[in-house]
Amino acid sequence: DSGVTQTPKHLITATGQRVTLRCSPRSGDLSVYWYQQSLDQGLQFLIQYYNGEERAKGNILERFSAQQFPDLHSELNLSSLELGDSALYFCASSVDRGNTQYFGPGTRLTVL
């Protein structure tokens, strides 16, 4: 167990809908990262937050947004969902300037 928690484990929704994925980092970790794992794209970095502020952006679609709250948990919001958004979404956390990212169990999103 990495200490990173993600909810829900599974999410099934329809095209055009909006969902929110939640992540709680390990105790003491200030940085949160979101990654998407899909069959065609592999593991792709989406976005990083550090202590409530956006630090880096990767291949994140405009339909997706994220935030990190004062208690350091993070949410990834996916809107206007398309079939191609079906994937496993991982959250990871690290101590800033620390080099190891610890991953949560992921949320499997299925868009029908």
Partner 1 sequence: AQSVAQPEDQVNVAEGNPLTVKCTYSVSGNPYLFWYVQYPNRGLQFLLKYITGDNLVKGSYGFEAEFNKSQTSFHLKKPSALVSDSALYFCAVRDRDTGFQKLVFGTGTRLLVSP
- Interface contacts to partner 1, rule CB under 8 A: 2, 4, 31, 33, 35, 42-43, 45, 48, 55-56, 58, 90, 92, 94, 99-106
Smaller CB separation from partner 1, 12 or 14: 12
Minimum separation from the CB atom of position 104 to partner 1 (A)? 5
Minimum separation from the CB atom of position 60 to partner 1 (A)? 11
Smaller CB separation from partner 1, 9 or 15: 9
How many CA atoms lie within 13 Å of 51's alpha carbon, on the beta-carbon side?
4
Cα 29 from Cα 50, distance rounded (Å) = 9
Cα 29 from Cα 3, distance rounded (Å) = 10
Smaller CB separation from partner 1, 3 or 16: 3
Minimum separation from the CB atom of position 16 to partner 1 (A)? 28
Smaller CB separation from partner 1, 24 or 82: 24
Q: How far is CA 24 from the centre of its chain?
A: 10
Q: In sequence order, which residues have a C-beta less than 8 Å from that of residue 6 and are 6 or more positions away? A: 21, 22, 23, 24, 89, 90, 91, 104, 105, 106, 107
